A and B are shown apart, each in its own frame.
Chain A
Amino acid sequence: MADYRFPVEAGQIMLFARAVGDPNPVYADPEAAKDSDAGAIIAPPTFVQAGAQYDPDYPLRPRPGEPWFGSGRAATGVDARPAGGGGLHAEQHFEYHRPLRAGDVLAVTSRPGKTWEKTGRRGGRMVFVETVIEYRDGAGELVVTARGVSVRPERPVETGEDA
């Protein structure tokens, strides 16, 4: 994953809050936000996931002229799923160093964490891969640290395996 710049915009915050079913005006209404504890429009707790929109190498976004693994004329447009596109999300952890506000411009850097293997309840081997992503503001101060764990099962699973 490349390092990239993530401008935190009020419009994307409003749409994100709608997508996670949260009508709290602190995510959408500048006047109400001014009178809240936060004092201004802030981002919902899981908002930094939307930074994927700004990641030039994000594998789960179709690109013009390139094959896409979703359906079109056929059930999938590719023979094999792209790297990074076949894993399932096993864990997600966020540490908040301060509230994330509309107008912040974040520098996003990621690094690999641990990797481990486990045998699932039905005997399949599963590989767990951890990624740590740091989101820093214009002053270089940490705003959010995210730690995600993905798992690549050997076959489709009907229920998530314990991580």
Chain B
Amino acid sequence: MSGSGLAVGAAREVVLTDDLTRTQMVMYAGVSGDYNPLHTDERYAREAAGYPGVFAHGMLTMGLTARAVTDWVGDGRLLRYGVRFRAQVWPGDRLTARLSVREVRDEDGVPVVDLDVVTVNGDGAEVVTGYATASLA
């Protein structure tokens, strides 16, 4: 349930996808407008760009991770959300978000919660790390 259990030290683990598909990457390209063929075009990615194959938009991983955050803090409550992209995400990856409450505090008279946000792949490697702050008012 959203908003519940947001106390310091509380943590949640959410499986975002068990098997990231190329189709999901195509869906993200289509709606976001980021048609960089690195993410959808195996031939370009391998032969022209020199990668092992297509890999996910960083913003797809950030978007998938956002679901775990908003499912916890509630709708329309985010004040800040940011990530660093640590490693590439490949088709077939299993992605799991790990959220933990760093601090509950006042910000300009409004109670807020600060979360640490990490998403890991199936090998346990961090693919994004970041933070989110949400209003508790």
Q: Which of A's residues lie within 8 Å of B, judged by CB?
A: 12, 15-16, 18-22, 24, 26, 36-38, 42, 44-46, 49-53, 55, 58, 60-62, 68-71, 75-76, 85, 88-96, 99, 147, 155-160, 162-163
Contact = CB atoms under 8 A, between A and B. Distances in A.
B12 interface: no
A133 to B, nearest CB: 13
A21 B33 CA distance: 17
Interface size classification for chain B: 35 or more
A117 to B, nearest CB: 17
Contacts of B46: 75
A149 to B, nearest CB: 8
Contact of B32 (A19, A160, A162): A19
A69 B44 contact: yes
A119 to B, nearest CB: 17
A45 B66 contact: yes
Contacts of B87: 159-160
Which 6 pairs between the two chains have the least Cβ-Cβ distance?
A70-B37, A20-B63, A93-B82, A75-B47, A99-B76, A76-B48
A24 B81 contact: no
B82 A46 contact: no
Contact of A45 (B34, B81, B86): B81
B62 interface: yes
Contacts of B75: 24, 26, 36-38, 42, 99
A75 B44 contact: yes
A7 to B, nearest CB: 14
Contact of A44 (B47, B63, B77): B63
A76 B37 CA distance: 9
Given A46-B62, A70-B44, 4 more contacts: A24-B70, A37-B74, A85-B36, A96-B78
Interface string B30-63: 1111111100110110111111100001111011
B67 interface: yes
B74 A91 contact: no
B11 interface: no
B66 A20 contact: yes
Contacts of A157: 88
B59 A89 contact: yes
Contact of A163 (B36, B60, B84): B84
Given A19-B32, A60-B36, A91 B76 contact: no
Contact of B31 (A15, A160, A162): A15
A71 B41 contact: yes
Given A20-B64, A53-B33, A159-B88, A44 B70 contact: yes
